[in-house]
């Protein structure tokens, strides 16, 4: 039982390049989330999904796209990376909605955009 | 605009003493409040939560207090242990979204 895994762990991009971050969970959770963590900003919600085939915008969605084609996977895409997207990205999942459901986080992906 | 604030970036406490971490929020619609602990190079892990209809929740050495009128919550760790040294994030939820504070780095000195 691996919990929540993220691929890759590190990545360096040049401005304008594209990439996809993969999040996978093996807990049969319905809800999945993508956050970014920046110094002095805490974690901010980018996009989330309440089930397979669904996605919704969070607090800071601009410049990102997501897809949830399979229940266990949640992909975060950057179509044209910008230096402002340099950050640590965390994926999380919960069994269901509601704040009483514990979020399980992955180990993070450190992305640098030059 | 930051809806959840942790105004103390760091805190140092002697082993065995009480650690008190504070958090303020602005949105009265938040219905759950949570604390997460984070070690370097790892993702946050859930610690304890409290519903907006309660004012206290305990789990072992960890107690969270909620003061709705002041829009303030705090996490008490008693007694503090060196393994508690980590960054602690306060979070609040409304609907399907979670809002996190900027974190407080706790150092427990042996």
Question: Residues A33-52: pLDDT tens digits?
Answer: 999 999 888 899 999 999 99
Judged against a pLDDT cut of 80, whether residue A99 lies above it is answered with no
Q: How confident is the model at residue A56 (pLDDT cuts 50, 70, 90)?
A: very high
Cβ-count burial B66-78 (b if 16+ within 10 Å, e if not): beeeebebbbbbe
List, in order, residues 6 or more apart from A68 with CB less than 8 Å away.
A32, A49, A51, A52, A53, A54, A55, A74, A75
Q: Do B49 and A97 touch (CB under 8 A)?
A: no
Judged against a pLDDT cut of 90, whether residue B96 lies above it is answered with no
Strand arrangement of the beta sheet that strand B62-67 belongs to: B4-5, B19-25, B72-77, B62-67, B56-59
**A16 Cα to chain B: minimum distance (Å):** 27
Q: Do B31 and A56 touch (CB under 8 A)?
A: no
Judged against a pLDDT cut of 80, whether residue A98 lies above it is answered with no
**B90 Cα to chain A: minimum distance (Å):** 9
Q: What is the pLDDT, as a whole number, of residue A101?
A: 80
User: What digits encode the pLDDT tens for the residues B64-94?
Assistant: 999 999 999 999 999 999 999 999 999 999 8
Contacts of A98 in chain B (CB under 8 A): 32, 93
Judged against a pLDDT cut of 80, whether residue A1 lies above it is answered with no
User: What digits encode the pLDDT tens for the residues B5-59?
Assistant: 999 999 999 999 999 999 999 999 999 999 999 999 899 999 999 999 999 999 9
Contacts of B32 in chain A (CB under 8 A): 98-100
């Amino acid at each position: 039982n691996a919990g929540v895994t993220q691929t890759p762990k590190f990545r360096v991009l040049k401005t304008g390049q594209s990439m996809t971050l993969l999040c996978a969970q093996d807990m049969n959770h319905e809800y999945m989330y993508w956050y970014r963590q920046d110094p002095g900003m805490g974690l901010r919600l980018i996009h989330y999904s309440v089930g397979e085939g669904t996605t919704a915008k969070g607090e800071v969605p601009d410049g990102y796209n997501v897809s949830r084609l399979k229940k266990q996977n949640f992909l975060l895409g950057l179509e044209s990376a910008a230096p402002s997207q340099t950050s640590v990205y965390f994926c999380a999942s919960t069994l269901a909605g509601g704040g009483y459901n514990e979020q399980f986080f992955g180990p993070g992906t450190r992305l640098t955009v030059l | 605009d930051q809806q959840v604030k942790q105004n103390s970036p760091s805190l140092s406490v002697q082993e065995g003493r009480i650690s008190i971490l504070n958090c303020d929020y602005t949105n009265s619609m938040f219905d759950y409040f949570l604390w997460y602990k984070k070690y370097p190079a790892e993702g946050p892990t859930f610690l304890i939560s409290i519903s907006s209809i309660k004012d206290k929740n305990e789990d072992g050495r960890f107690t969270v207090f909620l003061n709705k009128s002041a829009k303030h919550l705090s996490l008490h760790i008693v007694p503090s242990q060196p393994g508690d040294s980590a960054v602690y994030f306060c979070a609040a939820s409304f609907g399907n979204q979670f809002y996190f504070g900027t974190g407080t780095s706790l150092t427990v000195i042996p």
